[in-house]
Amino acid sequence: MREIGKACGEKWKTMTYEVKVQYYDVATEQRAEFEKALADYAKRKVRMFFFTVTTVLYFET
């Protein structure tokens, strides 16, 4: 695993700025998708929490 990291690092150092920009663009797009998915997950989790609390309160009374 260490050798793979070293090889990738050496390759990255030799790349031109134009080539690196392509990777940065992909990373930016994937980061935006991740943040959106994380926000959607958080909303679902909050909704599930309130549903659970209201259901428990309803049946306890």
Q: Say if 5 falls within a structural domain.
A: no
Do the Cβ atoms of 12 and 20 come closer than 8 Å? Answer: yes
Q: What is the pLDDT of residue 38?
A: 93
- Domain assignment present for residue 47? The answer is yes
pLDDT of residue 61: 58
| Number of domains the chain is built from | 1
**What is the C-alpha separation between 44 and 40, in angstroms, rounded?**
6
The pLDDT of residue 37 is 94
- Tokens (6 digits) for 35: 């943040």
Q: How far apart are CA 61 and CA 53, in angstroms?
A: 13
| Residue 46 maps to a domain | yes
* 7 is a domain residue: no
Residue 8 located in a structural domain: no
By residue range, what is the domain housing residue 26? 16-60
* pLDDT tens profile 5-58: 999 999 999 999 999 999 999 999 999 999 999 999 888 887 777 767 677 666
